[in-house]
Amino acid sequence: MGDRMRRILLVLAVVAVGSMGVVTAATAAGRGPADSGGGPLAILGPKAAITYTPAAEATAVDPRTTASVAVADGTFDQVSLVDPAGKAVKGTLAADRASWSTSAPLAYGATYSWKGTATGTDGKQVPLAGGFSTVTPAKQVRGTVNIGDGRTVGIAAPIAIQFNGHVDDRAAVERALSVTTSVPTEGAWGWLPDESGGSRVHWRPKEYWKPGTKVTVKAKLFGVPYGGGAYGAADVSSSFTIGRAQVVKADVNSFQMVVMRDGKQVASYPASYGLGSDPNRNTRSGIHVVSEKFTDKRMVSEQYGYDVVEKWAVRISNNGEFIHANPASTGAQGSSNVTHGCVNLSIDNAKAYYDTAIYGDPVEVTGTPVQLSAKDGDIWDWTLSWSQWKALSAL
């Protein structure tokens, strides 16, 4: 082979190697025979992964649960939770569109379904699916707060929640109760024996309320398991105000009924209390609480043989004790005790007191050997010491 031929072959070899390098580089850059369009290859990510709370097909779910759905490696296009009637539950979609949660309570005994889609980083849509069902109570028990919104009450007023059925799990209920006050006030819940067809719980301050205190009570009872298959029917709440500090000082041996208001005596009325020689007719000693009042009240006793209507009657316990007018005992008022347990005043004095009395005013009776107690019913909260009262809490 001559020198000229060797030089030609060398040039052809160099050209061939260079061409192969170009092809290899083009393939490494994502261009080649497999890419007929000549553009960059798409890099595909994972598909959308959806998680549900409560878990899919969960049953007996607490209706207080916040239901939510979240997506990883994607975002939601549309999302909703619908009830059996197809109505959407109120909810909120996060700003990054990666989660959604309910903002309204669920209902008892309902099946909820997820609707909507999410798009993953692979560009494909994934539908939401499945759902869950909430618990169905064997019985729903309702609670009622004794003090209505906007009322003004006396300084001894207890907060009472009366249930229309029995509560087994009192601790669960008590955890759902709260009392907030505008003035720091120490107090506690206490469970009293069932009455009026159901359980009852009272909140009592350690000492009398401070006048002017703003009070809010909240009972988040919906969804609370009461035990025995019973659940709370609905939340209840109330906001009210403590009024002036009016206290009746009722010393039975003074034959007077003294009215104190904000620490000052505003009235002293000649009175007749229960007959001391008959324990059944003694006016009970202890802190009574004004609970209701009547312009005219029929009073009946088979034991003592009377059936009368008395005016300006203010109930101070549930055992039949009232402060009321009684013209029949006018001669004894201010000098002797002859009543059947009530506090008797003249018509004018009874009317004057009646006009000032409000629910929750304390009436402090002293001087008799018979004490107000639980057997007298209704409001006997103040007959207990603070330590005794706290022992009535389920917590």
Q: Are 97 and 19 in contact (CB under 8 A)?
A: no
Q: Are 173 and 225 in contact (CB under 8 A)?
A: no
- Strands 91-93 and 125-127, by their bridges, are unpaired
Q: By C-alpha distance, which of 151, 167, 249 is closest to 201? A: 167
Under DSSP, the state recorded for 317 is: S
Choosing from 202, 288, 324, 340, the catalytic residue is: 324
- Cα separation, 258 vs 144, whole angstroms: 34
Active site residue 342: yes
Active site residue 288: no
- What does the angle CA 298 – CA 296 – CA 267 come to, to the nearest 5 degrees? 120
Choosing from 202, 288, 340, 342, the catalytic residue is: 342
- What does the angle CA 386 – CA 292 – CA 183 come to, to the nearest 5 degrees? 45
Q: Are 152 and 132 in contact (CB under 8 A)?
A: no
Q: Which residues are catalytic?
A: 324, 342
